[in-house]
Every structure is written in structure tokens, then in C-alpha cells.
């Protein structure tokens, strides 16, 4: 079975990207392969993580071009690489309707909360954990979902709960949600969707 070609989109440190790379290195990403890592931030450490593993990279810096130009170039690059699955791993740019439509049912995102809680516009990074602590919830977690035109509104693929401790800060909660939830369910979800796409492609070829 031909492996599903994957693009991972990142804006920052790339810890979720690293989790997928490690998953792939361990032989667990049986039906997928990371073909390219794309960033909207030329200073993203995610790019270094990719380069260290010999993975192709591309940068379309959000400070240097318009959203429309950036997305057009991203689409051209992903198509040239034959990308079938797009994974948003800490990607801070909201994708436009045309991009989402092009990979409909083939874009997934990880969100650091249990959707539908603490999600939507403006809810990213530490903002999510600050909101969870301000609300006083006892359980939070992470969600992997398909990306649609509605921000954080697509069908859910996987969720994992994480306990909120009395002495948590946004930073400590963020780290625990990453370690106990995001870094587990994101790679597993990438494999799950990559497998489904590979099987679908194989059936078409029969």
C-alpha cells in the first residue's frame, strides 16, 4: 500500500511535529509519511526539527505577504509535493475557505482543550489554559478534529482528558496537556486518517 503523503503546518516550536516525527521513527506511522513541513514564521524552531530529520521545508512568512498570496503559494507547494493529508500542529494562521475546500476531509488540527469548551476565534496557546483555569474546570484535555470553515467546528477524531490541579498555572497546565494528551492523540489520529485515505485510494485503483 502506498503511504499517504503528509504536510505538517507549524508556527512555533514544533513540539507536536516532533511527536509525529518520533511516532514515524518508531514505525507506528504505517500508512503515512511526512513529505514537507510548512511554516508561516521564518523563525519557527519547527523548521529546524524538520531539517535535522532531512524533511523538506517551506516558509511563507505572514509578515512578508498577504493571506491570499500566502495561501496560494502554500497550495501550489503542497500540490507539487502530492500532499494528501494536511496536519495543523500549532499553526496560528486561520486557513481560508478555498484552502480548506481544496483539502476537505483531509485537514486535521490539534486543539488544547476538550471541544466544544474553550475553542473558537482567539482561543490558542496559553489563552486556552488561562480560560480553563479562570472558569475553574477540574478536567481539560486535547482534541484532534477535522478542519472546516467553522473555527474548531469540524468533526472530532479523538479526545483525551487531563486533570486540572489546584496549583496549576497556565504554563504548567499547557505542558501537561501537551505531554499527556496532544503528543499522544495527534500522532495516533494522523495514522488513523492516513490509513483511511490510503485505503480509499487503493479502492479507487482497483
Write down the mean pLDDT value for the chain: 95
Residue 129 catalytic?
Answer: no
Domains of the chain are: 4-110+145-156+182-205 (3.40.50.170)
State the pLDDT at residue 117.
Answer: 94
| Across 192-198, average pLDDT | 97
pLDDT in tens, 7-33: 999 999 999 999 999 999 999 999 999
Res 92 pLDDT > 90: no
Residue 38's DSSP bridge partners are: 9, 58
State the pLDDT at residue 144.
Answer: 98
CA distance 15 to 108: 16
Q: In the numeric block, which cell numbers belong to residue 121?
A: 476565534
State the pLDDT at residue 61.
Answer: 92
CA distance 185 to 70: 29
Q: Where are the alpha helices (DSSP H) in the chain?
A: 15-25, 45-52, 67-80, 97-102, 126-135, 170-177, 183-205
Of these residues, 31, 111, 129, 145, which one is catalytic?
111
* Confidence class for position 206, pLDDT limits 50, 70, 90: low
* Confidence class for position 77, pLDDT limits 50, 70, 90: very high
Global pTM value = 0.94
CA distance 63 to 45: 17
Which DSSP string corresponds to 71-117? Answer: HHHHHHHHHHTT--EEEESS--SPPPHHHHHHTTTSEEEEESS-TTT
Q: Which of 19, 82, 94 is nearest to 56 (CA)?
A: 82
pLDDT in tens, 122-134: 888 899 999 999 9
pLDDT in tens, 116-166: 999 988 888 899 999 999 999 999 999 999 999 888 899 999 999 999 999
What is the per-residue burial (b if ≥16 Cβ within 10 Å, else e) of 140-166? bbbbbbbbbeebbebeebbbbebebee
Amino acid at each position: 500500500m502506498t503511504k499517504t503523503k503528509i504536510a505538517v503546518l507549524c508556527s512555533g516550536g514544533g513540539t507536536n511535529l516532533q511527536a509525529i516525527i518520533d511516532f514515524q521513527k518508531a514505525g507506528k506511522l504505517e500508512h503515512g509519511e511526512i513529505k514537507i513541513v510548512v511554516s508561516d514564521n521564518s523563525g519557527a524552531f519547527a523548521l529546524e526539527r524538520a531539517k535535522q530529520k532531512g524533511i523538506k521545508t517551506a516558509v511563507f512568512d505572514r509578515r512578508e505577504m498577504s493571506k491570499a498570496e500566502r495561501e496560494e503559494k502554500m497550495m501550489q507547494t503542497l500540490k507539487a509535493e502530492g500532499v494528501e493529508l494536511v496536519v495543523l500542529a500549532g499553526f496560528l494562521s486561520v486557513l481560508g475557505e478555498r484552502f480548506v475546500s481544496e483539502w476537505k476531509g483531509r485537514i486535521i488540527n490539534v486543539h488544547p482543550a476538550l471541544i466544544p469548551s474553550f475553542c473558537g476565534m482567539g482561543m490558542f496557546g496559553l489563552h486556552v489554559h488561562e480560560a480553563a483555569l479562570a472558569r475553574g474546570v477540574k478536567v481539560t484535555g486535547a482534541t484532534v478534529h477535522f478542519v472546516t470553515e467553522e473555527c474548531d467546528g469540524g468533526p472530532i477524531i479523538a479526545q483525551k482528558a487531563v486533570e486540572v490541579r489546584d496549583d496549576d498555572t497556565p504554563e504548567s497546565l499547557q505542558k501537561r496537556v501537551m505531554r499527556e494528551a496532544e503528543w499522544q492523540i495527534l500522532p495516533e489520529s494522523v495514522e488513523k486518517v492516513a490509513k483511511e485515505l490510503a485505503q480509499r485510494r487503493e479502492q479507487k485503483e482497483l
